[in-house]
A = this chain, B = another copy of it.
Amino acid sequence: MDRLTIIKVGGKVVEEPESLKALLDQFCRISGNKILVHGGGRAATNIANRLGIQTQMVNGRRITDEAMLEVVTMVYGGLVNKKIVANLQARGCNAIGLTGADLDLIRAVKRPVDEIDFGFVGDVEDVNARDLRVLIEENAVPVIAPLTHDGQGNLLNTNADTIASEIAIELSNYYSVYLFYCFEKKGVLMDPKDENSILYDLDPALFQKYQQDGIISEGMIPKLETGFRAKRNGAKEVLITNSDNISSGRGTRLVFNK
């Protein structure tokens, strides 16, 4: 099977001009089929602030009422996505910006109200591998914003780590998928203050232990959960790293039965 590299990159990296430039340079060096999945939470919070719309987070997830849905639709689908696309095109990379609504690529269901009503937040139900493959086979490079739809006309705010993982799983039926979660650090760190304390191999048992010990916490937990889910369901390699290390393949590798 052909290789497909999926890069998930968080808000902080894509929202600062310098780090965005570095990321895009690295991304363009990846040969073969590739997909970029991006966040944009900081920019959304910033624009929401300027519009006088309060941002409310629960467990690291954004409460998305109708006003906030408009903000994330603008910021993720427009501002962040199209800026990346234009900058990739300038580098000769044939990017196409997409949300889950485009070509019906990612269907989701509005998260049921349990204790918390997250509003217009979607849990991924179905990835349309067929149309993604058509684009990839045409040498297009999908750049995917963290928005899905419910098939009934509603856009839904959806976690970018989850989108990257679900795409990786679905496309593992057709490609040898390498999934990279890029963030500011070189990998999962034993000591957050020491950039060199990288955990090179992480298996589910160790993940559980470090979670209990508080070494792994907060935003890293859903990233690792979706990463292990991708690895368990077909992804060939899942790596947590920073964008400088995409080509070297250094960082925290998720493994089973270490």
- Residue A144 CB within 8 A of the other chain: no
Residues B89 and A96 in contact, CB atoms below 8 Å apart: no
- Residue A11 CB within 8 A of the other chain: no
Q: How far, in Å, is A243 (CB) from chain B's closest CB?
A: 18
Residues A75 and B77 in contact, CB atoms below 8 Å apart: no
Q: How far, in Å, is A121 (CB) from chain B's closest CB?
A: 15
Q: Considering the complex, which residues of chain A in the window 14-58 have a beta carbon less than 8 Å from any beta carbon of chain B?
A: 47, 50-52
Residues of B near A102 (CB, < 8 A) are 82, 85, 95-97
How many subunits of this chain does the assembly comprise? Answer: 2
- Residue A101 CB within 8 A of the other chain: yes
CA distance A134 to B154 in the complex (A): 27
Contact pick for A96, options B51, B70, B85, B103, CB 8 Å = B103
Residues of B near A96 (CB, < 8 A) are 98, 102-103
CA distance A138 to B28 in the complex (A): 27
Contact pick for A153, options B76, B81, B90, CB 8 Å = B90
Residues A74 and B78 in contact, CB atoms below 8 Å apart: yes
- Residue A237 CB within 8 A of the other chain: no
Q: Considering the complex, which residues of chain A in the window 104-126 have a beta carbon less than 8 Å from any beta carbon of chain B?
A: 104
Known: A74-B75, A77-B82. 4 other contacts (CB 8 A): A75-B78, A77-B78, A90-B153, A96-B98
